[in-house]
Amino acid sequence: MTGMMTNRELMLTLGRAGREAAKVLALAPTRQKNDALMAMAAKIRRSAGDILSENARDLENAKAKDMKASFVDRLTLNEARLEAMAKGLEEIAALPDPVGQVMAQWTRPNGLAFSRVRVPIGVIGIIFESRPNVTADAGGLCLKSGNAAILRGGSDSFHSSGAIIACLQRGLDTAGLPRTAIQMVPNADRDCVGLMLEGLGGTLDLIVPRGGKSLVARVQADARIPVFSHLEGICHVYVDKAADLEMAKRVVLNAKMRRTGVCGSAETVLIDRAAAEKNLKPIIATLIDAGCEVRGDKAAQEADPRVKPATQEDWSTEYLDAIISMKLVDGVDEAMAHIAHHGSQHTDSIITEDASTAERFLAQVDSAIVLHNASTQFADGGEFGFGAEIGIATGKLHARGPVGVEQLTTFKYQVRGSGQTRP
């Protein structure tokens, strides 16, 4: 069908179709969008056999290519994962609809009535690696927020994503919405990604990359349109001299070890030198006893012989593994200077019973999320109460922190008058 088209023509066609669909979605009532989401979930459940057999094709190829076990695991679908995908769509249906919400309203002395109203962004491109579940998540979140989606999944999940997209499009159909509201790039050619990063001739408003550091780095470097992303999460926990030791042990352990592969996982613990005598040993022991490797400065190495020496590189490394770096600092000021220098403006936490030190940390650390006496693993849209999220953004403009349906909207000003002219 697209045999005669160049990839450029093909992608521009997708972009224009997305733009047309976005016009319909912007005005679609909440009920219709929710109907589509529920129909998608039902269709995924009914099509489990088809999806799993397409997934089997992808898995066969991956095994033939000798891919890593963790890669194959992310690629693998099964009944339980399909059920989670369907449930995810139902949960998105249950979220409040951000579109049309009045964010602010005021009247000027001349009688003009201003409203700042949430509207969809338009057409959103999602570029992701071979995780088929992102297909449903990203499509559902874009739909709920009134945006058209153009999805470009990893080439190794091509057949799985295609089968899932078919279900999503059937759901759109059922609810009377255009199938082009959620489109998938129909081949795995790499130049299609480049065309998306250029903005598809002005039809694409935003790119969201979902995947590892090399994917995000490429998108950030090459995109000519806005990107919501984080390159890495080098999250810190600072244990102040006024910390409660039991709380510090519990929070540090959770911040690192609850899940080590997520962006909100802590990578460095900074310990206030003024209370190192009391806090250093027990915190190291808590981590090592739980199976975490600790790489520390001299003080940490002296406190526990199991601590390995940290190199300069460790302070800027996102391990995404059961490894943590640790060092002493001279109070909250050196801690904040360390975070400013080595952090990724993602999520950082202070443990202290001293309210004024905590407030200084919350005010001064320039990260999307700053916490007092809580684990960095709360960096998650669900934990914020946003419902599902499409990722975490560390850029400063528009969306910062978890990106849920509300963050996928923009706004416009509606001004209602009675014939006012400007003097």
Q: To the nearest whole angstrom, how small is the minimum distance from the Cβ of residue 337 to a copy of itself? A: 10
- Using CB under 8 A as the binding criterion, the count of chain residues that bind a copy of itself stands at 60
Q: If binding is defined by CB under 8 A, does position 147 make contact with a copy of itself?
A: no
Q: Which of 42, 320, 322, 384 is the binder for a copy of itself (CB under 8 A)?
A: 384
Q: Which of 3, 291, 305, 419 is the binder for a copy of itself (CB under 8 A)?
A: 419
Q: Which of 68, 72, 121, 317 is the binder for a copy of itself (CB under 8 A)?
A: 121
Nearer to a copy of itself, 60 or 333 (CB): 333
Q: Are strands 235-239 and 266-272 parallel, antiparallel or unpaired?
A: parallel
66 to 105: interface string for a copy of itself, x by CB under 8 A: ----------------------------------------
| Residues written for the chain | 423
Query: For residues 120 and 407, what is the distance between their CA atoms, to the nearest angstrom?
Result: 10
Query: For residues 395 and 399, what is the distance between their CA atoms, to the nearest angstrom?
Result: 7
Whether residue 134 contacts residue 126, with contact meaning beta carbons closer than 8 Å, is answered with yes
Query: For residues 167 and 140, what is the distance between their CA atoms, to the nearest angstrom?
Result: 12
286 to 25, 128, 225, 247, 253: CA distances (angstroms): 51, 36, 45, 12, 7
* Amino acid in the structure at residue 302: E
Query: For residues 240 and 334, what is the distance between their CA atoms, to the nearest angstrom?
Result: 11
Which stretch in 6-14, 180-188, 284-292, 383-391 sits in contact with a copy of itself by CB under 8 A? Answer: 383-391
Whether residue 289 contacts residue 231, with contact meaning beta carbons closer than 8 Å, is answered with no
Which stretch in 60-68, 281-289, 311-319, 361-369 sits in contact with a copy of itself by CB under 8 A? Answer: 361-369
- For the four alpha carbons of 145, 151, 157 and 161, in that order, the dihedral sign comes to positive
* Amino acid in the structure at residue 185: V
Q: Are strands 113-120 and 102-107 parallel, antiparallel or unpaired?
A: antiparallel
Question: CA 77: distance to chain centroid?
Answer: 21
Site for a copy of itself in 243-262 (CB under 8 A): 244, 247, 250-251, 253-255, 258
Angle in degrees, CA 197, 340, 221, rounded to 5: 15
Q: If binding is defined by CB under 8 A, does position 16 make contact with a copy of itself?
A: no
Nearer to a copy of itself, 157 or 345 (CB): 345
Q: Which of 43, 52, 122, 321 is the binder for a copy of itself (CB under 8 A)?
A: 122
Over 40-51, what HEC string results?
A: HHHHHHHCHHHH
Q: Which of 35, 97, 156, 205 is the binder for a copy of itself (CB under 8 A)?
A: 205
Q: If binding is defined by CB under 8 A, does position 290 make contact with a copy of itself?
A: no
Q: To the nearest whole angstrom, how small is the minimum distance from the Cβ of residue 229 to a copy of itself? A: 13
Which stretch in 7-15, 66-74, 302-310, 398-406 sits in contact with a copy of itself by CB under 8 A? Answer: 398-406
Q: If binding is defined by CB under 8 A, does position 371 make contact with a copy of itself?
A: yes
Q: Using CB under 8 A as the criterion, which residues of the chain lie in contact with a copy of itself when the complex forms? A: 23, 26-27, 106, 108, 112, 114, 119, 121-122, 205-206, 226, 244, 247, 250-251, 253-255, 258, 340, 358, 362-364, 366-375, 377-378, 380, 383-385, 396-398, 400-401, 410-422
